[in-house]
Amino acid sequence: MKSGDARVRRLGRLRVTVACTALLAIVALLSGCTLPADNPRQPPIDKNPLTELIKPKVTAAVKDGDVGISPSMPLTVAVTDGKLAQVTLFRPDNTVVNGVLAPDGLSWRNAEVLGYNKAYRIEAKAYGLGGATTTVVNFKTSSPENLTQPYLIPGDGDVVGIAQPVAIQFDEAIPDRRAAEQAIQIITDPPVDGAFYWLNKREVRWRPEHFWSPGTKIKVDVNVYGKDLGGGLFGTEDVHANFSIGDAVVLTADDNTKQVTVERNGEVIRTMPTSMGKNDTPTDNGIYIVGDRFQQIVMDSSTYGVPVNSPQGYRTPVDWATRISYSGIFFHSAPWSVGQQGYSNSSHGCLNLSPGNAEWVFNNTKRGDVAIVKNTVGGTLSGTDGLGDWNIPWQVWKAGNAGSE
């Protein structure tokens, strides 16, 4: 055999060996990539992974599983990378809470307040370039330990005097007074600075430093529904009022002259004689606020802590009574003391007037008008009497007492 033929045969065997070795390596590699028979089938790879990135993304003001949500909290749903097709808020009985979808389809909000201690479900459907999605959110509102009803004076549409404070009364003692104050919004036109002060555990007042200017408009919103006022006490409902300030009417009773002078917008319009509290039951000095008026009322000393059968007790029906203190001081008709009116004091503290003058006061005053008593032998009407707010110095009032017990 020629040496060239032997060289060709060796090269041929080498190629076969290399080829077989490479083939075995490929087979081994493929065998190593084969899934065991007992391994679960893996999901196929998304042909377009960007789809997940551009799917609509829905968010809500509450998270799934939230508990203790305030029923007064604005409930909103929003979407990015798409638009909302439909948002439905279900009550526990599967009835639907009214809501409003924005014209641009990017947001939704509830149009009804929710209830206390209830489970709700949001179903939000959205669509976009990445397809459609449905988001479900379950949540539960707060469960009050107790409820309190607020009452607001003045009432909606009232026209009141220049001394009238905003008065909010609750039927329960308020543990967290600051929370209550924060839930009350007062807007005045023109703008006026004012401050809160608590007369007691259930009643808070708001007033400016000086008497209101006639024509001022006041808007009050007591937004306590859904608010924790301390110790699990929540508001039963919100209350609102818009009222305005009328003419500046001021009645000044001077014990030196035994006369009551009435001014309207700075002009004296009437003067009338009076008989105030005698020395052992004097009328207190100070600024009073005109309150309720009664065409007829029974004056009963027991309602102010003095038994009817005691030496200072009384139970007397009177006409044309205009209240100026919660402690029982009125302008009222006292025909039995007409001879003393203008000369001496004979009452238990009230300002006695003739029937005609008492009727005039009844007909020509309004809630919030000013009554000033001066130069008596009495003390000063308490600022927490209920109609004596202006006897509390402004710096004390402005400092507030929300943190006091």
Q: Exposed, middle or buried: residue 14 (CB in 10 Å: 0-12, 13-18, 19+)?
A: exposed
CB of 268 within 8 A of CB of 262?
yes
Residue 390 in this model has a pLDDT that exceeds 90: yes
Q: Which CATH class is domain 50-141?
A: mainly beta
- Rg of the chain over all Cα atoms, to the nearest angstrom: 40
One fold for 50-141 and 146-246:
yes
Straight-line distance from the first to the last Cα atom of the chain, in angstroms, rounded to the nearest whole number: 123
Cβ-based neighbour number of residue 239 at 10 Å: 20
CB of 361 within 8 A of CB of 320?
yes
**Nearest Cα to 380, choosing from 274, 305, 287?**
287
| Mean pLDDT across the chain | 90
High-pLDDT (> 90) share of the chain, %: 82
Identify the active-site residue in 20, 33, 210, 332.
Answer: 332
Q: What is the DSSP letter of 274?
A: -
Cβ-based neighbour number of residue 229 at 10 Å: 26
pLDDT tens sequence across 96-125: 999 999 999 999 999 999 999 999 999 999
CB of 363 within 8 A of CB of 383?
no
Q: Does domain 249-389 have CATH number 3.40.50.620?
A: no
Q: What is the pLDDT of residue 54?
A: 84
Q: What is the DSSP letter of 108?
A: E
Structure pTM?
0.82
The vertex-252 CA angle with 248 and 256, nearest 5°, equals 165
Residue 26 in this model has a pLDDT that exceeds 70: no
Q: What is the pLDDT of residue 16?
A: 36
Cβ-based neighbour number of residue 242 at 10 Å: 15
User: Which CATH topology does 146-246 take?
Assistant: Immunoglobulin-like (2.60.40)
Cis-peptide into 317, omega within 30 deg = no
CB of 68 within 8 A of CB of 142?
yes
Return the residue matching tokens 């007829």: 296
CA dist 197 and 187 (Å) reads: 17
Q: What is the pLDDT of residue 312?
A: 81
Residue 166 in this model has a pLDDT that exceeds 60: yes
Return the residue matching tokens 């006292």: 334
Q: Is 332 a catalytic residue?
A: yes
Q: What is the pLDDT of residue 50?
A: 65
CA dist 299 and 303 (Å) reads: 9
294 pLDDT band, cuts 50/70/90, is very high
> Which residues, 6+ apart, have CB-to-CB distance to 172 below 8 Å?
146, 147, 148, 202, 233
Domain ranges within the chain, ordered by starting residue: 50-141, 146-246, 249-389
* Six token digits for residue 230: 């301390």
**Rounded to the nearest 5°, which phi and psi values hold at 18?**
-65, -45
Least confident of 16-20, 230-234, 378-382: 16-20
49 pLDDT band, cuts 50/70/90, is low
The vertex-189 CA angle with 183 and 194, nearest 5°, equals 50
> Which residues, 6+ apart, have CB-to-CB distance to 298 below 8 Å?
315, 316, 317, 318
* Six token digits for residue 402: 């929300």
Return the residue matching tokens 């409820």: 147
